């Protein structure tokens, strides 16, 4: 004897299109080429950054521009990345100087760990971290040697 009744979602499904909306194609900031002046302005860090952060900006900005992830619209996020990296370097210096002993030392280690994870996520957002595969395709699998070649005498 069957139990229960009709279940939510049971029954014949409607046929035809299901509210499919076709959006017009438009150029995004990632595909729109930047003017030479805009690219030049992104190579140089903002004037109000401290010197340590300016040095980090000058190292990573050309790489992010090459990856086409640093644009005028993403510059505030890149600035946040630079600030995180400078803070992480400062905490690493303090850990090296004072060690990880005591309550403040363990707090620094926890902060350093969390900040390192955040920096790595920010680097990934700007495609500045390795994802496990080389870009040139040299990481392709090599042909396996025949394990029976020694038995067959070849």
Q: Where are the chain's structural domains?
A: 36-127
Spatial separation of the C-alpha atoms in residues 134 and 27, rounded to whole Å: 29
Tell me what percent of the chain is helix, strand and coil, each rounded to the nearest 5.
50, 0, 50
Question: Taking Cα atoms as reference points, which of 66, 71, 81, 61 lies closest to residue 30?
Answer: 71
Other CB atoms within 10 A of residue 45 CB: 20
pTM of the model: 0.62
Distance of CA 101 to the CA centre of its chain: 33
Q: What is the pLDDT along the chain (154 residues), one digit of tens a residue?
A: 566 667 777 777 777 665 555 555 555 555 456 677 777 788 899 999 999 999 999 999 999 999 889 988 899 999 999 999 999 999 889 888 887 777 777 888 888 899 999 999 999 999 998 765 555 555 556 666 677 776 766 5
């Amino acid at each position: 004897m069957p139990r229960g009744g009709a279940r939510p979602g049971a029954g014949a499904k409607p046929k035809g299109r299901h509210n499919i909306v076709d959006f017009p194609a438009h150029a995004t900031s990632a595909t729109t080429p930047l003017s030479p002046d805009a690219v030049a302005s992104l190579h140089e860090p903002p004037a109000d950054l401290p010197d340590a952060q300016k040095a980090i900006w000058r190292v990573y900005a050309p790489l992010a521009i090459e990856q086409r992830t640093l644009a005028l619209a993403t510059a505030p996020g890149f600035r946040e990345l630079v600030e995180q990296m400078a803070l992480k370097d400062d905490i690493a210096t303090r850990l090296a100087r004072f060690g990880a002993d005591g309550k403040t030392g363990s707090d620094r280690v926890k902060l350093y760990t969390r900040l390192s994870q955040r920096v790595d996520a920010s680097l990934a957002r700007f495609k500045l971290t390795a994802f496990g595969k080389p870009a040139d395709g040299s990481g392709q699998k090599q042909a396996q040697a025949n394990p029976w070649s020694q038995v067959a005498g070849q």
